Amino acid sequence: MQPNIRPTREPVLFQQLSHVQALEANVLGGIIKEKDALTSVIDILKSDSFQDERHIAIYQSILALFGKTEPIDLLTVTNQLRQNGELEFVGGASYVSKIMANSTVAHIEQDARIIVQYAIRRNIVKILDVVKNKAYEDTTDVYGLMDSTEQSLREIQEGNLNKNIPELSAVVQKTLEEIKNKSDQNAEHSNVPSGFPSLDRITGGFHNTELIIIAARPGMGKTAFVVSALRNAAIDFHLPVALFSLEMSAQQVMLRLISAEAEIDSQKLRKGELDKDEWHSLHSRLNNLSTAPIYVDDTPALSILELRTKARRLKAFHNIKMIIIDYLQLMTAGNIKQGMNREQEIAAISRSLKTLAKELNVPVISLSQLSRSVETRGGDKRPQLSDLRESGSIEQDADVVMFLYRPEYYDIDSLEDGTSTKGYAEMIIAKNRSGGTEDVKMRFIGKYTRFAEFDGFHVSAEEYEQQTGITIGSKANDM
């Protein structure tokens, strides 16, 4: 008895080969026949849009003539093919004459779009073939494979977008609409507020596509600051925020959030030593936190490829508005380049973070360590741009560089004007492409591991709007 063998079928893509060839021949023949036909398809078709190698050669000859502003007809195309040494390859002048005679320009633009669709299908098949082969190799970095696959598919999409040049009036109208939206206090925020009025007054919040570096020596409170900003964005402004914590676990991050939100000493929370009133406060004030759109990933030694893959998914599924990384020096470049020293690796990471911010159209905040040169310097030991650790490219890639400085950390009891340094902090804006550079006074509340406005723990919504011009739904900075 013969085994039941199902006959194989060629993919639909290849079954339609002759149909695609006919479409390609019709479009090329129409371009040669009708002098204005090229202008209707030149923004749609590229050389690699064609499947038939002969048609690729003919279209390249047409584009060469167009570039030289020479007429496009049977004689000029044939001569151009002859100059390129490809006339015999395409079937001679008789083949060019044949496709021109059998063509029609009635639906040439529609035919061109169908050709592009088949080209996209072919490219997808090629990508998936490569992915399938690499997926079987034990040496393949699967995160790198996913990242490169997404990148290749996105390049296909971007490469086939039909971008028409708008008229100036349309550009003016769009620009005016953007200005109106930014001036309308009821409009949706285009930037992510930090929730600190004094800081947002200068920066306007964290801007989309920008890379913001917040740097300090260990123990200054970098993580406490970004956790405070994360809390403000997610709870007060209801914006989805992602935190990639390479140093602390998700549970440790949550303890900090709970301490700040419930105003309970963080040490008590860690030990579980809460009295009755504190337990009541804990349960009554955590409703906002439990429903806040906060996403914490605590993967250690995260590579830039893993970060990009996870960030894209969070953007796709949760539409995150801001990404925070704690901290840059704990990341790895993965397989971006082999044989790099540490400085080159940090440079590759900072460039990739800036690229990610532009790709996802969100602000990316990355914490960074400062070099020990701060400690050896005399005076008040205020940090400066040259103190950025391991790579000057961080300063170059960043749109904003801010230093967190607490003189109390260096046993400095008072400032020059006599102000006590107990709980005193400054956010030094050392670089700001979108605005000025100033020093912002802040208050560090150590037992709650959080930052607040310098002049008071509570800021009303009205005061926040007056100081920053940013409208919020309820309260501003509940500190």
Q: How many helices (H) and strands (E) are present in the chain, helices listed first?
A: 21, 11
Tell how strand 322-326 and strand 364-369 pair up: parallel
Q: What confidence score (pLDDT) does residue 97 get? A: 92
Name the amino acid, one letter, at 413: D
**Whole-number Å distance between alpha carbons of 194 and 450:** 13
Residues of the chain with CATH 3.40.50.300: 191-468
Examine the pLDDT at 9 and tell me if it is beyond 50. Answer: no
SS3 for 371-419 is: CCHHHHCCCCCCCCHHHECCCCHHHHHCCEEEEEECHHHHCCCECCCCC
Question: In which band, very low, low, confident or very high, does the pLDDT at 98 lie, cut at 50, 70 and 90?
Answer: very high
pLDDT in tens, 411-424: 777 777 777 777 78
Q: What's the mean pLDDT in 220-249?
A: 86
Q: For the domain 191-468, what is the CATH code?
A: 3.40.50.300
Numbered ranges of CATH 1.10.860.10 in the chain: 13-160
Phi, psi of 269 (to 5 degrees): -65, -45
Check: CB of residue 208 under 8 Å from CB of residue 190.
Answer: yes
Residue 391 reports pLDDT greater than 70: no
> pLDDT higher for 6 or 325?
325
At the second CATH level, the architecture of 13-160 is Orthogonal Bundle (1.10)
CA distances for 253 relative to 172, 226, 267, 426, angstroms: 46, 11, 14, 23
What is the DSSP secondary-structure string of 256-284?
HHHHHHHT--HHHHHHT---HHHHHHHHH
In which band, very low, low, confident or very high, does the pLDDT at 309 lie, cut at 50, 70 and 90? confident
Q: What number is the average pLDDT over the span 379-393?
A: 71
Catalytically annotated residues: 247
